[in-house]
């Protein structure tokens, strides 16, 4: 960081966390008789009033099926739905809304791509993923590999939880057809150098997919600047509703790929002799879509857009710094994932304590975290642990909540002493 940017950070107005917390009604409740401290944002984030209201208003004033009815409500629903698609396009800086496909989430988006790329894959081809992927970015590739005879190969990670870039370079070869990599690791918090990885892959004509599920709650990716072929994310982790997500894909690849599911909406003409597909993006959107959810996601993106991004990032990094500083106040506590570039997530273990014990006893104190393998079993194997405890922070968390987590951990340790 240059001196100038340090000065900028110092001058920047701080995020008004108390005001922001009032936007998230669920946060001001008691759990087990204690004020809720919600530190499981990596699993799913909470929703601001703006999202709740947008969905409520949609159902009260506009609901109808989209792209169909010859009536006013149908037009309203369609324009709210397509308006949300345009909002997503703007968020990602995609070239066209034809490249924005609604899916149920990251998982479905990756399955769609893996399935769509199957015709390109042959026996012996290689699909490069990483050791730190979520199962959602491993299993769909294994399934397509099973069908095509391709192989799924992981890029190793270092003990600190960063990708081994030397290994990445040596794994690239003429058989490598796909690179599928997380923008941000859900377990480690590591921000991967995806721009550099994509750049390398592109030189060799390798198709690139970025799993952005854990990135979009913290950053706004620019898919044209990244030049990735696909970028997938889920609404529910970025303060929007569940049940909807996004696949961004470059139009020439989406055009080439076969449809994922068949049914209404995705066709141009159906007959028993010959059925033809609808144009993008509808070719990949069979059936009645999650309309209210799309509208809710649009509202979540607008809400994030109304916040000061720089202040938000500064507040989040302050949470991470405080957490890291407090680690030594809990004897035997060890952070898994100490990359230099991290989002505010700490996976940890505490000597002598099982993660599930930690989770249960934090819950008793009103603190919600996640424990277990985090759908990243290959990464758990790499670290030789059955699971970890993970606290994942969002911009609405306070420094005081970070401190409460550590006070609660100290209390748990006394209980086991």
Partner 1 sequence: MTASEQDFLNNPLGTKTTLEDVLDAFEFLDDWEERYAYIIDLGKQLPAFPDDGRIEENYVHGCQSQVWLIHHFDEASGKLYLLIDSDAMIVRGLAAIILVALNGKAPRELLTTDIDELFEQLDLFRHISPTRGNGLRAMVSKIRDIAATEAA
Shortest CB 361 distance to partner 1, Å? 6
375 as an active site residue: the answer is yes
Distance CA 300, CA 84 (A): 10
The option from partner 1, ligand PLP, none interacting with 416 (CB < 5 to 8 A, set by class) reads partner 1
Q: How far is CA 415 from CA 108, 188, 357, 358, 405, in A?
A: 43, 28, 11, 11, 15
The catalytic position among 206, 280, 375, 405 is 375
Q: Is 182 in the site for ligand PLP (CB under 6 A)?
A: yes
Which stretches of 175-222 are DSSP H helices? 194-203
Q: Can you give the binding site for partner 1, defined by CB under 8 A? A: 32, 353-354, 356-357, 359-361, 363-365, 371-372, 386-387, 411, 415-416
Of 315 and 358, which CB lies nearer to partner 1 in the complex structure? 358
Residues between 199 and 238 that touch ligand PLP (CB under 6 A): 211, 213-214, 234
Site track for ligand PLP across 98-137, x = CB under 6 A: -------xxx--------------------------x-xx
Backbone torsion region of residue 137, taken as left when φ is above 0, otherwise alpha when ψ lies between -120 and 50, otherwise beta:
alpha
Shortest CB 373 distance to partner 1, Å? 10
Shortest CB 103 distance to ligand PLP, Å? 8
Distance CA 303, CA 238 (A): 10
What is the β-pairing status of strands 345-350 and 388-392? antiparallel
Distance CA 206, CA 177 (A): 5
The option from partner 1, ligand PLP, none interacting with 211 (CB < 5 to 8 A, set by class) reads ligand PLP
Of 89 and 104, which CB lies nearer to ligand PLP in the complex structure? 104
Q: How far is CA 107 from CA 3, 96, 223, 334, 376, in A?
A: 41, 23, 19, 30, 14
Distance CA 375, CA 135 (A): 5
The option from partner 1, ligand PLP, none interacting with 371 (CB < 5 to 8 A, set by class) reads partner 1
Distance CA 345, CA 260 (A): 34
Shortest CB 392 distance to ligand PLP, Å? 10
Of 137 and 278, which CB lies nearer to ligand PLP in the complex structure? 137
Q: Considering only CA atoms, which of 223, 247, 230 is closest in space to residue 107?
A: 247
Which stretches of 231-273 are DSSP H helices? 251-256
The option from ligand PLP, partner 1, none interacting with 299 (CB < 5 to 8 A, set by class) reads none
Of 136 and 350, which CB lies nearer to ligand PLP in the complex structure? 136
What are the residue numbers of the active site?
375
Residues that bind ligand PLP (CB under 6 A): 105-107, 134, 136-137, 182, 186, 211, 213-214, 234, 375
């Amino acid at each position: 960081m240059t001196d100038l940017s340090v000065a900028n950070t110092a001058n920047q107005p701080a995020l008004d966390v108390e005001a922001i917390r009032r936007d998230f009604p669920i946060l001001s409740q008691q759990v087990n008789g204690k004020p809720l401290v919600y530190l499981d944002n990596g699993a799913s984030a909470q929703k601001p009033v703006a999202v709740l209201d947008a969905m409520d208003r949609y159902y009260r004033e506009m609901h109808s099926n989209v792209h169909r009815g010859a009536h006013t409500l149908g037009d309203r629903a369609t324009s709210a739905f397509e308006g949300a698609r345009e909002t997503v396009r703007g968020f990602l800086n995609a070239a066209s809304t034809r490249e924005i496909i609604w899916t149920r989430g990251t998982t479905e988006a990756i399955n769609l791509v893996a399935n769509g790329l199957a015709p390109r894959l042959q026996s012996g081809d290689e699909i490069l993923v990483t050791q730190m992927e979520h199962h959602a970015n491993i299993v769909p590739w294994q399934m397509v590999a099973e069908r095509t005879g391709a192989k799924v190969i992981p890029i190793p990670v270092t003990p600190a939880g960063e990708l081994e870039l030397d290994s990445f370079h040596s794994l690239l070869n003429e058989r490598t057809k796909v690179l599928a990599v997380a923008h941000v690791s859900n377990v480690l918090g590591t921000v991967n150098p995806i721009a550099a990885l994509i750049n390398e892959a592109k030189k060799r004509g390798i198709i690139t997919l970025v799993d952005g599920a854990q990135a979009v709650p913290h950053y706004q990716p620019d898919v044209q600047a990244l030049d990735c072929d696909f970028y997938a994310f889920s609404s529910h982790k970025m303060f929007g509703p569940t049940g909807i997500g996004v696949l961004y894909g470059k139009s020439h690849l989406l055009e080439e790929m076969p449809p994922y599911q068949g049914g209404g909406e995705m066709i141009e003409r159906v007959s028993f002799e010959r059925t033809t597909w609808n144009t993008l993006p509808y070719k990949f959107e069979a059936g009645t879509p999650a309309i209210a959810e799309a509208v809710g996601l649009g509202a979540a993106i607008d809400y994030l857009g109304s916040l000061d991004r720089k202040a938000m990032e500064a507040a989040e990094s302050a949470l991470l710094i405080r957490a890291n500083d407090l680690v030594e106040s809990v004897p035997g506590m060890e952070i898994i994932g100490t990359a230099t570039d991290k989002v505010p997530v700490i996976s940890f273990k505490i000597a002598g304590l099982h993660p599930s014990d930690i989770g249960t006893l934090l819950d008793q104190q009103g603190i919600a975290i996640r424990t277990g393998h985090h759908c990243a079993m290959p990464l758990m194997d790499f670290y030789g642990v059955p699971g970890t405890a993970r606290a994942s922070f969002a911009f609405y968390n306070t420094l005081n909540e970070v401190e409460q987590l550590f006070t609660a951990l100290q209390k748990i340790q006394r209980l086991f002493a």
